[in-house]
Each structure stands twice: as structure tokens, then as C-alpha cells.
Amino acid sequence: MIVLIARYVSRAGMGDRVEAALREMIPLSRREPGCRAYKVHRSLDHPDEFLLYEVYDDEAALEAHWQTPHFRRIIEETVVPLLERRERHFYRLVEP
């Protein structure tokens, strides 16, 4: 299992536009095969900051997510140009 934690910081005043785009992205991503979770959170203290929590079955499912038309249209073409900063961290589940 692969977990992706992403932190998006939009340019000043662009938070509402980013949120609207991410609201569109949520159900599309959740329907993808191999996507176990896709959750978006908006900071209470910094309204231009977002935390995304995503869980995929494996690296292939994550790669497939990045290749979808909705990822390219919503994230790459709409959200990324509105961002000041984008951080992504990847994790693997640790089991006994």
C-alpha cells in the first residue's frame, strides 16, 4: 500500500478556487481502481493551505491515478498554476 500526503499552499486569495477544483477531484479519484482513500482538508488557520491524504493499493495504482484525464485537467492544469508551493511525501505501510 502507498500513502501520499500532499500539502498545497495556494497563492494568496486563491484558496476558494483550489477548493472548488479539489471538490471536483474527490469523487473522480475515489472511483479509480486501486484508490482506497482520497481526502482533502483545508487549514482552519491558513485558508490557502490544503492537506491531501491519499491511499493506493500499490505504485501501479498511483501511477494510473496520475495518468487519468481528470488528474491532468484538474490538478496539473487547474490547481498547480494556482499554487505557491506543493509538497508531496510518499509512505509505505509498515506491518508486523
The kind and range of the H/E element at 27 are helix 15-30
- The per-residue pLDDT for range 57-85, each reduced to its tens digit, is 999 999 999 999 999 999 999 999 999 99
Tally the domains of the chain.
1
Residue 96 pLDDT grade (very low, low, confident, very high; cuts 50, 70, 90): confident
Backbone angles phi, psi at 33, to 5 degrees: -60, 135
Q: Which domain holds residue 85?
A: 2-92
In angstroms, rounded to a whole number, what is the distance separating the alpha carbons of residues 76 and 45? 26
Instruction: Name the E strands within 23-76.
Output: 35-42, 49-56
Tell me the CB-side half-sphere exposure of residue 60, using CA atoms within 13 A. Answer: 2
One-letter amino acid for residue 15 of the chain: G
Q: Is the pTM of this model over 0.85?
A: yes
C-beta separation of 57 from 17 below 8 A: no
Q: What is the CATH number of the domain that holds 23?
A: 3.30.70.100
Confidence at residue 16, expressed as pLDDT on a 0 to 100 scale: 97
Distance CA 10, CA 21 (A): 12
pLDDT, one tens digit per residue, over 37-64 is 999 999 999 999 999 999 999 999 999 9
